[in-house]
Structure 1
């Protein structure tokens, strides 16, 4: 089968198309004939071995696939790795059947980014009706869905951040009440101004570094900052407990891995997201679709912040 494999860690240049033997499923696993594979920002960390879990070589990246089982079931699944290939082995427990009303691209947008947005707002962020929400990278895969979900779940004001006017306009189109420049310089003041001069209740933050620092400074008493990424690859300033106590702030980490095997935290939220999409209440934002051989280009675009929405590899191309 054709697959994109890495045999050394590094940047996009280490992603190479090759031929590999078909994978063989073990107990509790399914073989999926992959039609489309999702590309996540976390994949760029995996390829350079800088993510939360350590990778081993050789490796076929790709944590999510859409396709069919040999029995003809159309599914979307979390693969952990091995997704950038014509065939992938996936855990049966993390495989979800797809209705005909959902495209592969929509399903891939929902299984990681959609679930992440759902849990950021409901499980860890605990959004209450009327609260203000800051969504960073609001034109990206997770951010574009989180903007819509925040409105769906009763946020009083959704404040989007993005790096370009085009991305900010897109966030407004998706339902954000206001969109501001994501440049860390002056970001705290822009967030407070965008919230009518008031500090914010909930921030969804995946950049790290100075954006994390500016976001924490913009929180209201009892405000929560949920950190779920480190896209800048720059560490934030360490947070002293006394600083949190002084303003009754909370900093909460989130990693979707801790949800997927817990009862009620994978299939049920995914059903909710799929139903909202089928009903037209949620619009997964699809970005570029690249052929499998162009996986390196997809990674280059992600790291250069040239993308919006969900990136997909068309494995059949």
Structure 2
């Protein structure tokens, strides 16, 4: 089968097309004929070996696929790795049925980005109706969905940040009340101004560096910041306990992998709710572009350079 294989760590240049043996499903596993594979920021960290979990080479990257099993089930699945290929293996417990009315891009958009937005708002920050939510990188995969979910769940105001005029316009189209340039010299003041002069209740943050630092300063008493990535590769400043006490601030970290250690079918619950919002017309996945398998390098380049919006996918047939 055709697949992308990494034999040395690095940037997009290490993604190479290779002919590899078909994977074989073992006990408790499913073999999926891949129709589309999702591309995520985590894949770029995996390629350079800077992800939270260490990676061994050689590696077929790609943690999510949608396709059909041998018995005809249409599933979206988390694979950990191996997704950038014509066929992939997933644990049976990491595959969920997809309604036929849901297209491939939407299905892939829900399993990591949608579920991440769900967990961030439902579990990490415990959004209450009427609260103000700041969504950084609001034109990205998680951001585009978080804006819509926050509105669907009754956020009083959603403030989006995005790096270009076009991306800010997209966030507004998706339901954000106001959009801000994260490059504002005083981002703290810009966020407070965007909230009518009041501090904000919730910040969803995946940029790092000064964006994290200045967002923390914009939080209202009992405000919560949930940190789920560091796209800038810049660490924020260390946070002192006194800083948290100043506004009774909560900082949370979220790595979706930990959801599977929780009791109950949290992922299944999230996907059922998300597919329900899709069916109701209250949630849609923004397609960020479809690339052939041989274009995986360009997909990573576009993602790292923030040239993309929404959900990126690979078509293994090309």
Normalised by the size of structure 2, how large is the TM-score? 0.98
Moved over 4 A (4+): none
- 1:248-271 per-residue CA deviation (whole Å, 9 max, x = no partner) reads 001100010011353131111101
Partners of 1:221 and 1:248 within 8 A in 2? yes
Are residue 285 (structure 1) and residue 286 (structure 2) matched?
yes
Are residue 271 (structure 1) and residue 269 (structure 2) matched?
no
| Unmatched segments (≥5 aa) in structure 1 | none
RMSD: 0.8
Are residue 182 (structure 1) and residue 182 (structure 2) matched?
yes
Task: Give the paired residue count.
Answer: 317
Cα deviation for residue 243 of structure 1 reads: 1.1
Cα deviation for residue 241 of structure 1 reads: 1.1
Moved more, 23-32 or 130-139: 23-32
- 1:265-313 per-residue CA deviation (whole Å, 9 max, x = no partner) reads 1111101111211221111111110001100100000000000000000
Partners of 1:130 and 1:157 within 8 A in 2? yes
Aligned equivalent of 1:223 = 223
Q: Aligned partners of 1:125, 1:292: CA distance in 2, in Å? A: 37
Are residue 95 (structure 1) and residue 126 (structure 2) matched?
no
Aligned equivalent of 1:45 = 45
Are residue 248 (structure 1) and residue 248 (structure 2) matched?
yes
Cα deviation for residue 185 of structure 1 reads: 2.4
Q: Aligned partners of 1:34, 1:264: CA distance in 2, in Å? A: 24
SS in structure 1 opposite 2:67? strand
Q: Aligned partners of 2:71, 2:296: CA distance in 1, in Å? A: 28
Are residue 54 (structure 1) and residue 67 (structure 2) matched?
no
Aligned equivalent of 1:70 = 70
Aligned equivalent of 2:195 = 195
1:130-141 matches, cutoff 5 A: 130-141=130-141
Aligned equivalent of 1:155 = 155
SS in structure 2 opposite 1:50? coil
Partners of 1:184 and 1:210 within 8 A in 2? no
SS in structure 2 opposite 1:32? strand
SS in structure 2 opposite 1:260? helix
Q: Aligned partners of 1:189, 1:259: CA distance in 2, in Å? A: 34
Partners of 1:209 and 1:232 within 8 A in 2? yes
Normalised by the size of structure 1, how large is the TM-score? 0.99
SS in structure 2 opposite 1:83? coil
